[in-house]
Amino acid sequence: MCRALCVFAYLAVVIVCVCSAVGQNPPTVSAEQIWSDLAAGNHRFVVGKTASRHLIAQRQALTESQHPRVTVLSCSDSRVPPELVFDTGLGDLFVVRSAGEDDDPISIGSIEYAVEHVGSTVIVVMGHQNCGAVTAACSGKKSESVNLDAVVAPIASSCAKMDPKKPETLDLAVRDHIHRVSEDLLAKSELLKEAVDKGKLTIIEAYYSLDTGEVTKLH
Ligand SMILES: [Zn+2]
């Protein structure tokens, strides 16, 4: 028993030493810590005390590579820029945006690239208050083009969550859409699902309030 424990301890020390010696991968940071950092940045944004950044130095330091731990899939809305909302600098966020934060093949492919090649370990799917894409999808009106239809069609199923007679219930559709997109990422991407199953990737659902500037973690 004692001998077995000694062998186990020896192997553990060897493994730690080898890993330390390799030292090539950036240190692993938990999803909880990453979200905590994002929340802290969002708080600075909310209270108007954003960090001062040396963007020229950052730009020069990042010319050869990037290692953003976080990928954000968010709406293109001009009032919801992830880098500002989370008070981040160059190289911090890998951002994929489209009206209504759609998870079409190009968006998913971009996220897969971020996870597979630049080391993102957290995906934040962020929708927002008064989203125009969700409003259009739930309006019942016909789109003006096939391209606009491609934006609103994926949102339509979430409209069942709202009462069309009560516009103030739009938020229910917004939140449902965030959840559906997050689930669809795993349903549509084997690469992302495998990363989640192996504990290498965490998907966070988030909601941005235009009123307060706050990002709330939904799930
Ligand atoms: Zn929007």
For residue 208, the CA-to-ligand 1 centroid distance in Å is 10
For residue 210, the CA-to-ligand 1 centroid distance in Å is 11
pLDDT at 59: 96
For residue 177, the CA-to-ligand 1 centroid distance in Å is 11
Residues 6+ apart with CB under 8 A from 122: 31, 34, 35, 69, 70, 71, 201, 202, 203, 204
Residue 154 lies in a domain: yes
Residue 6 lies in a domain: no
Output phi, psi for 101, to 5 deg. 40, 55
Residue 207 lies in a domain: yes
With contact defined as beta carbons under 8 Å apart, do 112 and 201 qualify? no
For residue 101, the CA-to-ligand 1 centroid distance in Å is 7
Confidence band, pLDDT 50/70/90 cuts, at residue 75: very high
pLDDT at 2: 44
Confidence band, pLDDT 50/70/90 cuts, at residue 26: low
**Whole domain around residue 63: which residue ranges?**
29-217
For residue 8, the CA-to-ligand 1 centroid distance in Å is 54
pLDDT at 211: 97
Residue 7 lies in a domain: no
The total number of structural domains that make up the chain = 1
pLDDT at 104: 96
Residue 124 lies in a domain: yes
Residue 125 CA to residue 122 CA, distance in Å, equals: 10
With contact defined as beta carbons under 8 Å apart, do 122 and 178 qualify? no
For residue 44, the CA-to-ligand 1 centroid distance in Å is 23
Mean pLDDT of the chain: 90
For residue 73, the CA-to-ligand 1 centroid distance in Å is 12
Residue 70 CA to residue 75 CA, distance in Å, equals: 16
For residue 61, the CA-to-ligand 1 centroid distance in Å is 33
For residue 184, the CA-to-ligand 1 centroid distance in Å is 18
Among 163, 204, 160, which Cα is nearest to 181's? 204
User: Which one is predicted more confidently, 113 or 1?
Assistant: 113
pLDDT > 70: percent of the chain:
88
Residue 133 CA to residue 102 CA, distance in Å, equals: 10
DSSP 6-36: HHHHHHHHHHHHHHHHH--SPPP--HHHHHH
Strand, coil or helix: what is 126?
strand
Residue 17 lies in a domain: no
Residue 127 CA to residue 177 CA, distance in Å, equals: 8
Write the pLDDT tens digit of every residue in 79-96.
999 999 999 999 999 999
pLDDT at 1: 43
Write the pLDDT tens digit of every residue in 106-151.
999 999 999 999 999 999 999 999 999 999 999 989 999 999 999 9
pLDDT for 24 beyond 70: no
Residue 182 CA to residue 73 CA, distance in Å, equals: 9
Residue 11 lies in a domain: no
For residue 12, the CA-to-ligand 1 centroid distance in Å is 49
pLDDT at 108: 98
For residue 111, the CA-to-ligand 1 centroid distance in Å is 19
DSSP 37-82: HHHHHHHHHHHT-PPP--HHHHHHHTSS----SEEEEE---TT--H
Residue 12 lies in a domain: no
pLDDT at 210: 98
For residue 209, the CA-to-ligand 1 centroid distance in Å is 11
Q: State the average pLDDT over residues 182-207.
A: 97
For residue 16, the CA-to-ligand 1 centroid distance in Å is 46
DSSP at 3: H
CATH number at residue 140: 3.40.1050.10
